[in-house]
Amino acid sequence: MPTFIGIGAQKCASTWLFEILRCHPEVVLSEPKELDFFSYRFHYGLQWYEHHFPASTDARAVGEISPSYFHEPAVPERVRQVLPEARILLSLRDPVQRAISNHKHEVRLGHFSGGDLSFEAGLRNNASYVEQGLYATHLSRWLQWFPKGQLLVVIYDEIVADPMAVARQVYHFLGVDPDHSPAALHQRANPSYINRYPVLDHWRRLSKESLHRMGLDFVWRLATASGLKRAYERINRQASEDAIPPVDPETLQSLRAGFASEVARLEELLGRELPDWR
């Protein structure tokens, strides 16, 4: 069973955390990354969950990262019942920028489409853009079930500014060699683009996953090296800025005001200031 779990938040560098942990020789992670067991698949039972981890391992840390865990109300109590000693990893980002990134993600996946792809239209369509940014509310719920010493909060801006320092902090927290230099340290996860044809991207991801399950990852690497990846990107990808209009300054001001009390409460919970978020 896991010794740690990453709980999100969504669009706050959870993929970066997964990658720097996956390449650490003393860490074992679930496959795939997002099991969503405690949020959306709890009814599958513990046996299903356990099958995603090795029966035996010499790793010093075993875990999984599912960004849905942070904001789903039932999750903290469930985790406490099953993994009371687990270390909890949480990454947070300016809630306004998180919401904008969330919108780009939904457009890229084809979950939001049509003639108006503006962020404002996305806000009207999807209340979770704001709900997921209520960090103090969600963190308070976790702190009802876990002491602060079992939870590490890292900030997106600090990952960007000094990724190695954050990586060392994470490694130290999990009890593994903090001096490991991860190959994915400067890797940019989930770059800002959208798919012209979401169905085509669905088949791309399905093909990659199928090859991985069959142990044929080398086929995917050969296809990538042959130039097929670059050809695919020319056909199906475009910069999100080319399809999504700039965010209205009044929208940004309104969101800042809406998140103000949450940011202030979060600063109290963390014992640190986050001036850029205000």
List domains and CATH numbers for the chain.
4-190+249-277 (3.40.50.300), 193-247 (no CATH)
Kindly report the pTM of this predicted structure. Answer: 0.84
Up-side HSE of residue 249: CA atoms within 13 Å toward CB?
0
CA pair distance 278, 275, nearest whole angstrom = 5
| Beta carbons of 63 and 3 less than 8 angstroms apart | yes
- Where do the H-state alpha helices sit in the chain? 14-22, 37-40, 46-50, 75-82, 95-109, 119-125, 128-131, 135-143, 156-161, 163-174, 198-213, 217-225, 228-236, 240-243, 249-270
pLDDT tens string 188-222:
655 566 676 777 777 777 887 787 778 777 777 78
Tens of each residue's pLDDT in the chain, 278 residues: 899 999 999 999 999 999 999 999 999 999 888 999 999 999 999 999 999 998 878 899 999 999 999 999 999 999 999 999 999 999 999 999 999 999 998 988 888 888 899 999 999 999 999 999 999 999 999 999 999 999 999 999 999 999 999 999 999 999 999 999 988 777 765 556 667 677 777 777 788 778 777 877 777 778 777 787 777 767 767 666 667 889 999 999 999 999 999 999 999 999 999 999 98
Residue 241: closest CA among 103, 96, 128, 121: 103
Contacts of 185 (CB under 8 A, 6+ apart): 20, 163, 164, 167
| Beta carbons of 46 and 57 less than 8 angstroms apart | no
CA pair distance 50, 63, nearest whole angstrom = 11
pLDDT tens string 23-44:
999 999 998 889 999 999 999 9
